[in-house]
Structure 1
């Protein structure tokens, strides 16, 4: 039940209607590192929960998003804009927010280790809910996939909103 809450909260953050979007470039807006592998469209294919229960047992579970009727597309632009489009239960919503990347280690055009920050009012509120300060920040990794397709892994600690000893949420995206 709690994992559904976490997923629902994150979906609500991404597709809320309360105007956190940016429609024009501002000199104060963060400019992401020029890592070209991130720019473009990415589709969320699954959400994974890596859970450690209070008794120490571990569990990995989570929905296949598209097969469950949830389509989430993130489009990263090189100027720091991020357009998030979601089709959840037949209702399509689009928001535009900002993104910033701090890649600690890269190889070729991929990101071996880094922090992806999503900047918007709802994202900041969700970050506070899960115990982060400031904007919503994910650990990020990208890899080249089979047949030239790339994969992106976004990870965030969601332990604070559930009954578990540890709950790490990982979103898996593939590049379109």
Structure 2
């Protein structure tokens, strides 16, 4: 390691300047980190728990920028993970909570439309309410489908950013 900034020093729990000029694999002792570097698949970032705080999640990305040099980018993604979990939980809960009342409303509307007296007088409003109820049911089904897709780890697509090319263009 030749240089690091203060946030990286803190997030990786390093001892600057003592760690300068030491191999990075000797100072970042995270499971899988040395293997990640050895594989040299730098298009794929690595996630790890912060050595400084086990409640923090870090995203590491290596960018080759010279023949034998690498830039290690470290990003704290703890907040993103928490927000994503809250969002997933919200979508799953909302869809389940709305399903039951919509079923009841749809059932009553169907019963009302089957009653000749009510259908004659209130036919059009009942029809409109049924259409809107069906529309809401489809939205709830979409939310449930989204929640199921998000629980599948292979569902998300990530596009790599070629940081080395970007640095050359600056």
TM-score, normalising length from structure 2? 0.28
More helix by share: 2
TM-score, normalising length from structure 1? 0.27
Q: Based on CA coordinates, which of the two structures has the bigger radius of gyration? A: 2
More strand by share: 1
